[in-house]
Amino acid sequence: MDSVPVIDFGGQYSQLITRRVRELRVYSELIPYDTNIEKIKEKKPSGLILSGSPYSILSKDRKVPVVDKEIFSLGIPILGICYGMQLIARLFDGGIVTSGHNEYGKTKIKLNLKSPLFKDLKPLETCWMSHKDSVVKIPPAFNVIASTPNLPIAGIEEPKNKIYGIQFHPEVMHTPSGMDILKNFLFDICGCSPTWTMVSIIEKQIKKVKDKIKEGRVICGLSGGVDSLVAAVLVSKAVGNKLTCIFVDHGLLRKGEAGKVVETFKQNFKINLIHINARDRFLSKLVGITDPEKKRKIIGNEFIRIFEEEASKIKNANYLVQGTLYPDVIESGTRDAARIKTHHNVGGLPADMRLKLIEPLRLLFKDEIRKIGIELGLPDEILWRQPFPGPGLAIRIIGEVTEEKIKILQNADEIVVEEIKRAGLYKSIWQSFAVLASIKSVGVMGDERTYAYPIIIRAVSSADAMTADWVKLPHKVLERMSTRIIGEVDGVNRVVYDISSKPPSTIEWE
């Protein structure tokens, strides 16, 4: 299987480059900028892409990321994007200056169509710029292949060794021909074949699990969502009845959800299932806790302790399957990407856990999981269930979690989901839910003063949870939600709608 890894310098779009390459059915993954050259060779890449970075290549800071120049001797094509292009210019004795201000946004770019990178494009295209430094002198043996009114050198190439650099970002949707540029790099320049399919992923993961688990038994942390269910079905194909799924009700699920999860699972899968009611255990650990990072880590730790306890009751159960996804890993913080929030199944894991992790979906995005689920024959009711966070309502209650707040939020959230489904919008929206802010405001109900909680409605569209836009819900839908929540949920006297996108916000509030 061909692969084109993305060398990560910590840029905000690094994971998006990886995603775009995968969309073109070529395998890609993020690898640290200082990965040993021998490890890169082991991956047998067909090409490499150098990402952008928040750093300036001109900075005197020792932390500024650079790559081993030996990668240019691997005999494979290399494409540098933004910082990646500046780094190429720097390593090959080009000239770079800082303009003193950011160039950010859409701009027209003139392309040299003789370059194979721009095959079948128009001579004048629109692109997305996001940079402060600029290449002002090309290295020896390089040619200029793109320019803008403000940037004479917006693209470079060294055709003999197939080294390319572009100052703009082809991976973002604001560059309309960006996917065509990546196609040209992957297929015409690197010679890749589009062989990374869902079937190939399934076959590879089943083999990987079989090779890893020669002996012993396996447990799977089941949440009821598509991620953990796909992971469970994949692993069951590898180990059969050696797998036992454990569903833990931590008391922070949506209203009536625990019963629905167990019923749906038993109806659709012939896999051993253990249902644990641990509501009191989790809620007692969260008393007085207001910091969201602490909440996530407490919940992650308790999950693992329960899994360990249950595994000890099963002879030779040494492995734990999790439905961890790539966005979970990225947002929890890699060495070169900032931590946004610690996902309970990544950074929330205790350091001394004894179970060995199996995460067959760790390098996949949500939409890829759904495609795998289709291949595995999962029913639509599972495949298209909106994502729900592992810590549950604990991170949708801002501040301390209490029994009263859980009840209020469960009732309000049920109304939000009911009205979204009633409007026929459930499948087209990535997530739609209610949030409870731990503040109170004055209201008037029945000619009397009230002092009660507000409910925030959140609805977003997304493909992979890495970016998201707020959904412009019809006013009548919002009106019904507001009327019902205030009228039917005790303790609420105000409803507001969150109209922020990700970035700068995140999908969940905590």
- Which residues does the annotation mark as catalytic? 82, 169, 171
**Do 410 and 254 contact (CB within 8 A), yes or no?**
yes
- Using DSSP, state whether 273 is helix, strand or coil: strand
- Using DSSP, state whether 461 is helix, strand or coil: strand
Beta strands in 216-330 (DSSP E): 217-222, 243-249, 272-277, 317-321
| 3-state SS record for 393-452 | HHHCEECCCCHHHHHHHHHHHHHHHHHHHHCCCCCCCCEEEEEEECCCEEEEECCEEEEE
Q: Which residue in the block uniquely carries the two structure tokens 């390098």?
A: 363
* Cis status, amide bond into 504, omega within 30 of 0: yes
Q: Please name which of 103, 14, 91 lies closest in space to residue 57, comparing C-alpha atoms.
A: 91
- DSSP H helices, 190-270, are 198-212, 226-239, 257-268
Helix H or strand E segment including 309: helix 292-311
Structure tokens at 126: 């629109």
> Letter for the amino acid at 66?
V
Structure tokens at 350: 């205790």
Calpha distance 317→218 (Å, rounded)? 5
Calpha distance 48→67 (Å, rounded)? 12
Helix H or strand E segment including 19: helix 14-23
DSSP sequence for 136-182: EEPPTT-EEEEEETTEEEEEEEETTTTEEEESS-TTSTTSTTHHHHH
